[in-house]
Structure 1
Amino acid sequence: MTGLEAKNIWSRLSSSSLVRFLLFVACGWASVQLLAYFESIIVIFAFAAIIAFLLSYPVKWLTRYIPHSVATILIFLISMTIIAGVTVTVGLTIISQGQQLIDSVTRFLDSLVPLSNQVEEFFRSRNIQIDLSVFEAQFRNQALSWLATSLTIFQGFITNFVTFIFIAVVAFFMLLDGGKLWELIMKAAPKQRRTHITKIVRKNFLGFFRGQLILTLFLTLSTFIVFTVLQVPFALILSVMVGVIDIIPGIGATLAVALVTLIVLSQSVWLALKVLVACIVLQQIQDNFISPRVMQGALNLNPVVVFFALLVGARVAGLLGIFISIPIAGVIVSLFEIDEMKAEVE
């Protein structure tokens, strides 16, 4: 590009367009800081909205036979009892197995020290100087840090009763009067677009979370059954790990299979191979038979857009951003009808 061409391009940029661009960047930065400042409040309301969304299905069905308020209270009490019971019983078992798993992985990493020394001796005998202690220490620290951090986060989640109560209360009132609140929000949109926007939000958010919940429950329960039959140690925490990581669209299932296989490898090579084959079979069943039916076009995004949304969501809102970034991207693409960002329909 010559100096004259650069000067012509610069001259086309008016001061007003530069101001708009700078204001857009400033608004984006301010929004990120605002999200970070109110992160705890946003997390409570976001998870409450997700619970209210999911419970709206049984409430809507039960409303055919009893009044809406009674149906809401009944479904809410039943669901909260189930969630609390499962969280306490399963959660305590997961914490116990998680601590045992950390000890097992620690012993396995300690057993690799003689092997690394043998590898170093093998290379030294061929006049190749190599020091594996640095890589060994980094790998050890990263593996143990990840397991310990994950267990701490889960333990803090199930023991934070105050946050759980806040989420439950907010979810109840959203379920009871959520329609009125949504109508209030929709008053900011043009009247002729309100129905269209409501359908898009319901399709992307409700369809996505409902589908992911079904897929997560299937993969968690099926892997737990298979791991129990194969007599895999720490079957419960490993199956929960597979189901939770699988929530990440696109790459979640692959990451879960690889991680669980590496963990089981510390117990037995043959057992790790059987776990790998079983997980691949279950993943194929989920991807080819269950996922197409439960998702039913809830999201129609290009894989590149999915990964971009995941990275942006993780950067802006951490774990919560990973959960809600995909349906938000689906709403934006559907609302503005950006066909280039949609997946190709075969």
Structure 2
Amino acid sequence: MSDADDRSTARRALIVIGLVLATLAGLALVWETRRVLIWVVVAAFFAVALNPLVDRVQQRFARRRAPATLVVFLASFVALAALGVLIVVPLLDELARFADRAPDLVRETRAGRGPIGELLERFHLRRYAEAHVDQFQRFGGQLGRSTVGLVRGTVQGVAGVLTVVVLAYLMVVQAPRITAGTLALAGGARAERLRRIGRESARTITGYLSGNLLISLICGLATFVVLALTGVPFAAVIALLVAIADLIPLVGATLGAIVAGGAGFLHSPTAGVVVLVFFVVYQQVENHLLQPVIMSHAVRLNPLTVLVSVLLAAELGGLLGALLAIPAAGIARVLFREFVPANRQAGSVPAEAGPGDRTGGPAPSERPRSGRPGPAGGRRPGRPRDGRQPAPGDQDRPPGGD
């Protein structure tokens, strides 16, 4: 092997090693900044969802972008605060009432009376609790020591929410400039394609949000009916909590079932069992029927794609993956339709052409009844209509001489 070949091989090896190291460094950077990247992705999701509403407010009420965005964000914040008041105030009243009744409940439970005491006696849990008092005390001490971690997580969560809100606000305000700059760099047909992709992607995200809200509304109404029939107090507030929790795909109904089931068991064991059975059945119906069907119409995906994308994304990305699975699948469909040629989307085998689909050829009624088409598209010269072989002297006759 010559020196030139050795240098070329070494150069290629260095290039491959450099690409591998650059890829590893990029993955390490993404992993270290994953929290910030998650905030940016969630903020972009909400910015795309709120951008059409901001455009309408800007066109009708405010000429400038920043005031219109501020009005929309303040309206959203007021709506969320109103929901919080509707949920928190009754819960605080119930907690205060529970705190007043706590000593009596403890005495009844120890004596095996009351709903909780009867439940413990029925399942022989009171003896188990009395036999493992020391373990429960140690577990309570561990929970007390983990309060610092809980407070730290709460502070980080509040900081994350504020960061997402600020990022979403800035994205919505700067959206026209970002869009105009990107389209100016693309230019021509690419700009039109990018504009079309952005419009379809925004429509996909908006459809996902509307479909998810519809599913949560159905879950909340069904929960309210079940709680009202079983006589559980504060049925409306609990149903609202369940509807908000149901915004989370796949696991939202489970979180709501914990809240509603706990309220049902506090009311009576029968109500608790009925509520748990309802949620077991409803979660299967929602995951395998409501969500695929509603999302298929809202995001324009078939139900199988919706279900498979949510399952895979939840397995790979956890809660965030489950939240972004359906819009990501819808955006992937938009990109596939834009960048894959139409003939490849339809399949490699072309459909049979109709009478008017053949370019350059006459319709069947205009073609000769017999004979194969010649060079000019008609009968072969000198061949009679009845299919007989021409006579030796007939080949010299001009076409149509008979």
Q: TM-score, normalised by structure 1?
A: 0.59
The match for 2:51 is 56
Give the letter aligned to residue 315 of structure 2: L
Structure 1 distance, partners of 2:239, 2:218, is 11
Deviations 1:149-172 (A, max 9, x none): 9xx79x958x94x76665555444
Structure 2 distance, partners of 1:186, 1:258, is 49
Q: 1:97 to 1:333 in 2, by over 3 A?
A: farther
Which ranges in structure 1 are unaligned for 5 or more consecutive residues?
1-13, 122-132, 340-346
Moved more, 94-103 or 258-267: 94-103
The match for 1:309 is 313
Asked whether the equivalents of residues 44 and 168 of structure 2 are also in contact (C-alpha less than 8 Å), the reply is yes
Structure 2 distance, partners of 1:291, 1:208, is 11
CA RMSD of aligned residues (A): 5.4
Secondary structure of 1:296 counterpart: helix
Deviations 1:170-196 (A, max 9, x none): 444433332323444677876464134
Deviations 1:197-246 (A, max 9, x none): 31453144332223223432443355346534643145356424432442
Matched, 1:223 2:220: no
The match for 1:213 is 213
Structure 2 distance, partners of 1:308, 1:184, is 35
Give the letter aligned to residue 308 of structure 2: V
Q: Which has the higher contact order (CA 8 A, sep 6+)?
A: 1
Asked whether the equivalents of residues 227 and 275 of structure 1 are also in contact (C-alpha less than 8 Å), the reply is yes
Structure 1 distance, partners of 2:244, 2:289, is 19
Whichever of the two has the greater Rg, that structure is: 2
Secondary structure of 2:249 counterpart: coil
- The counterpart of 1:79, out of the listed 54, 76, 79, is 76
Identify, as 1 or 2, the structure richer in helix. 1
Measured after TM superposition, the shift of residue 260 of structure 1 is 3.6
Q: 1:289 to 1:35 in 2, by over 3 A?
A: closer
Which ranges in structure 2 are unaligned for 5 or more consecutive residues?
1-11, 110-114, 341-402
Correspondence list, 1:1-346, <5 A: 24=23, 27-36=26-35, 38=36, 42-43=38-39, 45-63=40-58, 65-69=60-64, 71-94=68-91, 97=94, 114-115=121-122, 117=124, 156=154, 160=158, 167-184=164-181, 191=191, 193-220=193-220, 223-224=223-224, 226-228=226-228, 230-233=230-233, 235=235, 238-250=238-250, 252-253=252-253, 256-257=256-257, 260-261=260-261, 264-265=264-265, 267-275=267-275, 292=293, 296-298=297-299, 299-300=301-302, 301=305, 303-314=307-318, 319-332=319-332, 334-336=334-336
Q: 1:218 to 1:75 in 2, by over 3 A?
A: farther
Asked whether the equivalents of residues 216 and 243 of structure 2 are also in contact (C-alpha less than 8 Å), the reply is yes
Structure 2 distance, partners of 1:115, 1:238, is 27
Moved more, 170-179 or 280-289: 280-289
Secondary structure of 1:213 counterpart: helix
Q: 1:258 to 1:118 in 2, by over 3 A?
A: closer
Deviations 1:80-137 (A, max 9, x none): 322233334433444665798899999777766545548999xxxxxxxxxxx89xx8
Secondary structure of 1:232 counterpart: coil
Asked whether the equivalents of residues 242 and 253 of structure 2 are also in contact (C-alpha less than 8 Å), the reply is yes
Structure 2 distance, partners of 1:109, 1:204, is 48
Q: 1:168 to 1:119 in 2, by over 3 A?
A: closer
Deviations 1:236-259 (A, max 9, x none): 564244324423434644664477
Give the letter aligned to residue 211 of structure 1: G
Give the letter aligned to residue 61 of structure 2: I
Measured after TM superposition, the shift of residue 35 of structure 1 is 0.9
Give the letter aligned to residue 331 of structure 1: I
Give the letter aligned to residue 297 of structure 2: Q
Give the letter aligned to residue 296 of structure 1: H
Q: 1:185 to 1:95 in 2, by over 3 A?
A: farther
Moved more, 169-178 or 203-212: 169-178
Between the aligned residues of both structures, percent identity stands at 22
Moved more, 195-204 or 250-259: 250-259
Q: 1:251 to 1:213 in 2, by over 3 A?
A: same
Asked whether the equivalents of residues 222 and 282 of structure 1 are also in contact (C-alpha less than 8 Å), the reply is no
Deviations 1:25-82 (A, max 9, x none): 653343122213x36xx53x55544444343343344455334436545444433322
